[in-house]
Amino acid sequence: MWLYLHFPRLLLDNIQRLQPQIQQLPVALVYHEHQKEWLVQCNETALSQGLEVGHSTVLAHTLVNDAVFMPYSEEKESRVLTRLAERLYLSVDKQVLFKPQGIAIELDSLLKLYQGTQPLIDHLKEELDTLGVSYQMSLGFSARSAQCLACAGIEQLSTDRCVIEYELGHLPIKQLLLSSQIEKRLLSTGIHQLKQLWSLSAADIGKRFGAGMVDDTQRLKGNESQAFDFFRPRDAFITQLDLVTEIQHWQGMLFPLKRLLQELEQFLYQRQKVIRQLIIELQHRDIEPTSVPLKLASDSWRASEFLNLLQLQMNRYPLTAPVIAIEMRALELFELTRDSGSLLTKGVAHQQTVTELVSRLQARLGEKAVYSPQLSSDPRPLINEQRAAQMTTLTVQRHAPRRPLWLLTEPELVQVEHWQLLEGPERIQSGWWSTSEVCRDYWLAKDEQQRLGWLFFENSHWFLQGWFS
Q: What is the pLDDT of residue 154?
A: 96
Helices (H), 272-353: 303-313
The one-letter amino acid at 47 = L
Domains of the chain by residue range? 2-221, 237-364, 404-467
Q: What is the pLDDT of residue 350?
A: 46
Q: What is the pLDDT of residue 355?
A: 64
Residues 6+ apart with CB under 8 A from 413: 461, 462, 463, 464
Task: Please give the Cα distance from 344 to 302 (Å, whole number).
Answer: 12
Task: Please give the Cα distance from 265 to 258 (Å, whole number).
Answer: 10
Do the beta carbons of residue 235 and residue 260 sit within 8 Å?
no
Which tens digit of pLDDT belongs to each residue from 392-447?
Answer: 555 555 556 788 878 888 899 999 999 999 998 888 876 566 666 678 889 999 99
Residues 6+ apart with CB under 8 A from 54: 38, 39
Do the beta carbons of residue 263 and residue 239 sit within 8 Å?
yes
How far apart, in Å, are the Cα atoms of 297 and each of 32, 261, 317, 353, 401?
Answer: 46, 18, 20, 11, 31
What stretch of H or E contains 259? helix 254-271
DSSP structural state of residue 380: S
Q: Which residues of the chain have pLDDT under 50?
A: 342-352
Residue 281: helix, strand or coil by DSSP?
strand
Task: Please give the Cα distance from 135 to 31 (Å, whole number).
Answer: 21
Q: What is the pLDDT of residue 227?
A: 86
Annotation: CATH topology of 237-364: Dna Ligase; domain 1 (3.30.1490)
Helices (H), 291-353: 303-313
Task: Please give the Cα distance from 95 to 257 (Å, whole number).
Answer: 29
User: What are the counts of helices (DSSP H) followed by strands (DSSP E) for the chain?
Assistant: 15, 19
Q: What is the pLDDT of residue 431?
A: 58
Which tens digit of pLDDT belongs to each residue from 42-89?
Answer: 999 999 999 999 999 999 999 999 999 999 999 999 999 999 999 999
The closest of 343, 341, 339, 328 to 278, measured between CA atoms, is 328
10 Å Cβ neighbour count for 437?
11
The closest of 248, 423, 375 to 322, measured between CA atoms, is 248
Angle between helix axes 161-169 and 143-151 (nearest 10 degrees) is 60
DSSP structural state of residue 154: -
Task: Please give the Cα distance from 348 to 133 (Å, whole number).
Answer: 29
Angle between helix axes 74-88 and 10-18 (nearest 10 degrees) is 70
